[in-house]
Amino acid sequence: MQRNPQLNEKGELQHLLSIEGLPREILLQILDTAESFAGVTEREVKKVPLLRGKSVFNLFFEPSTRTRTTFEIAAKRLSADVINLNITVSSATKGESLLDTVANLSAMQADIFVVRHESSGAPFLIARHVKPHEHVINAGDGRHSHPTQGLLDLFTIRHYKKDFSGLTVAIVGDVLHSRVARSLIHGLTTLGAPEVRVIGPQTLLPAGVEALGVRVFHDMREGLADCDVVVMLRLQNERMRGALLPSAQEYFKHYGLTADKLALAKRDAIVMHPGPMNRGVEIDSAVADGAHSVILPQVTFGIAVRMAVMSIVAGN
């Protein structure tokens, strides 16, 4: 049997590449450790000495502000040295130059590579080629996976809802192109959320999505009924050109989250969004800034979750 590429021979987390395939115990270890780091981020000295002397390389082959910044803050709060590299590559030379780039950084004594890449699987490729003491964290690869975002979503849900056992969670919008949705669905099913729904137009839901253990809805009002958690996904503008959707206005009418649609969910439902938001496209401003919204706390929790992931992999 082939070993899970994320785990070492003792079954401990060596790289974080995808939530898919991670055992429940490791997900819980990350969430529990993040809970302790959340305490660190609330005090005056927001730093612990755990990764002193370690070097974290942020390798961003695709632009990102929030994810890169929160990884940088997380690494700095662990006392690591952080080096940010924004690399744009031509797709023709990508394969070779990717491993060459990593080999060069490795020669500069890297300990952790945080990788964001437009190609699905790039962090897996790097993980197969790094030295045993080096660790790879996937910060989003193509349409495939965005495990730390999935983990911070899980952390946020657990923070507000305490546990997953009775929850109905709806994920709304462009599931087809979303790496966030996939990571979250795997995490929720592994941690025992009894009902995960995806809501969206046929053209934005992957074929056979039911196989992931979710219920599919095309009518948003039907899908939101009695939900505890509503996760809105970003509608990428470029999808409009792909003839998948008629217009942003039309999309908002059917799948935009407004206060009257949200009223169909439970009274204490929380609204999440991985950002960046398109106000007036997938979410109404009144909801994004409203009492149910936990969108900004998600960002704060993201730091603690990334601290947990880095400190767990670097210690294994």
Partner 1 sequence: MLKLPEAERLCEQLAAELRPRVGPKSAMVGLYTGGAWLAERLHPMLGLKTPLGLMDIAFYRDDYAARGLKHDPKRTKIPFDVNGSELLLVDDVLYSGRTIRAAMNELFDYGRPASISLVVLVDRGGRQLPICAQHIGARVEVPPGMRLTLKKQDSGKLTLALESERAT
- Which parts of this chain interact with partner 1 (CB under 8 A)? 12, 28-29, 32-33, 35-40, 43-45, 47-50, 311-312, 314-316
Nearer Cβ to partner 1 (191/281)? 191
- Residue 75 Cβ, how far from partner 1 at the closest point, in Å? 14
- Residue 60 Cβ, how far from partner 1 at the closest point, in Å? 26
- Residue 315 Cβ, how far from partner 1 at the closest point, in Å? 2
- Residue 311 Cβ, how far from partner 1 at the closest point, in Å? 6
- Residue 307 Cβ, how far from partner 1 at the closest point, in Å? 9
Distance CA 230, CA 288 (A): 12
Nearer Cβ to partner 1 (209/314)? 314
**Can you state the angle between helices 295-315 and 66-77, rounded to 10 degrees?**
50
Nearer Cβ to partner 1 (22/196)? 22
Nearer Cβ to partner 1 (78/231)? 78
Nearer Cβ to partner 1 (205/313)? 313
Nearer Cβ to partner 1 (45/211)? 45
293-301, Cβ contacts within 8 angstroms, sequence gap of 24 or more: 294/156, 294/160, 294/270, 295/271, 297/156, 297/159, 298/152, 298/153, 298/156, 298/272, 298/273, 298/274, 299/66, 299/70, 299/275, 300/41, 301/34, 301/38, 301/152, 301/155, 301/156, 301/159
- Residue 94 Cβ, how far from partner 1 at the closest point, in Å? 33
Backbone angles phi, psi at 168, to 5 degrees: -110, 120
Type of residue at 9: E
Residue 142 backbone zone (phi > 0: left; psi -120 to 50: alpha; other: beta): left
Residues in the chain: 316
